[in-house]
Amino acid sequence: MTKQLDGRKAFITGASKGIGKAIAHSFAEQGAEVHLNARNKNDLEALAEEIRGRHNCKAYVYPCDISNPEDVKQAFVNYRATNRQLDILVNNAGIMQNSLLGMVLPEHILQTFSTNVFGSVYCAQLASRFMMRQRSGVILNIGSIVGEEGRSGQSVYGASKSAITGFTKSLAKELAGFDIRVNAISPGMIETELLEGLAENKRLEAISNIALGRIGSANEVAQVALFLVSDAASYITGQVIGVDGGMAF
Amino acid sequence: MTQNSRLYTVFAEALGVQIDQISDELKYNSIPSWDSTAHMVLIAALEDAYDVMLDTDDIIDMSSVVKAKEILAKYDVVV
């Protein structure tokens, strides 16, 4: 039986947890060879083993911090050592630190933008060179509803995710001539490790702002990611798709 | 094929021009077919031909064919 991503090679950043992990599983399940990035090598190797066992596919690891351009370069040099083809890049790695504006430290701004924005740019720069050569490819960026709607206490995080929206729309226009599609997903409140420390009253308050009345799952984001990187979305580029259950702040 | 003519071939194919239009003196943006978009196609072609991965600084600095030779030499490519 043909799978949606048979023969495709996908590089996924921030793959060891949450949405990135769910995306890695969904792509592998649909026949993709997955190349996994995150900072923690042990977590990545455990995930790769899990994916190989569950989906009977190839999975490789590239542990590095994507906020460091030299690390990103080395990861892609390692990738290139055995691969000439790259079909899909998912820029999922990101950090979220909440602070009211008066308590935002310069290093907090730098860390947030270095990972959420600069890291995505570094990865797209190198991945797009493979894709330009083959004149096909898909880049999928993971933004946030906070970047679209804003949220108190998340001005820096929101700014970084708004940057991802601008990056997505501009890059889609720049790379369209090479048949490279660029889209973003803007998740709302998703059940991941990021929510583990959330107080129950805050959780209930957040749910009251979601039209569907519940928190989403990482798999629900992954299914939209799968659609956007598949041929089913062949005429979609430059879009930011909300996966938020109808959330409003 | 000499190393020089191989490089000229890569340039000609990437820029979509005849090989006799390629010379060491040819500069970026000096002909319509070597614009910024074609430059990225050229970079991809050079990386493929010589099995290297160029730094962003080198991509920006690659302002002529002779400059490309200098840059490739840094990656141990003899041209």
Is the confidence at residue B3, as pLDDT, over 80?
no
Q: Tell which residue, A161, A175, A172, A142, has the closest CA to residue A241.
A: A142
Q: What is the pLDDT of residue B1?
A: 62
Asked about A60 being catalytic, the answer comes back as: no
Is the confidence at residue B73, as pLDDT, over 80?
yes
* Closest by Cβ to A133, choosing from B48, B55, B56: B48
Cβ within 8 Å, pair A177-B37: yes
Domain A9-243, CATH class in plain words: alpha beta
Tokens of B63: 């302002």
Tokens of A112: 């947030």
Instruction: Quote the minimal CA–CA distance from B55 to chain A in Å.
Output: 8
Q: Dihedral sign, CA of B43, B54, A171, A243?
A: positive
Cβ within 8 Å, pair A129-B45: no
Residue-wise pLDDT tens digits, A173-218: 999 999 999 999 999 999 998 888 788 998 999 999 999 999 999 9
Residue-wise pLDDT tens digits, B22-67: 999 999 999 999 999 999 999 999 999 999 999 999 999 999 999 9
Task: Please indicate if any CB of chain A lies within 8 Å of the CB of B37.
Answer: yes
Residue-wise pLDDT tens digits, B12-22: 999 999 999 99
Domain B3-74, CATH class in plain words: mainly alpha
Would you say the ipTM is above 0.85? Answer: no
- Name A9's bridge partners: A33
Q: Are A122 and A72 in contact (CB under 8 A)?
A: yes
Domain ranges within chain B, ordered by starting residue: 3-74
- How many inter-chain contacts (A to B, CB under 8 Å) are there? 22
Cβ within 8 Å, pair B40-A129: yes
In this prediction, the residues of chain A whose per-residue pLDDT falls under 50 are none
Is the confidence at residue B79, as pLDDT, over 90?
no
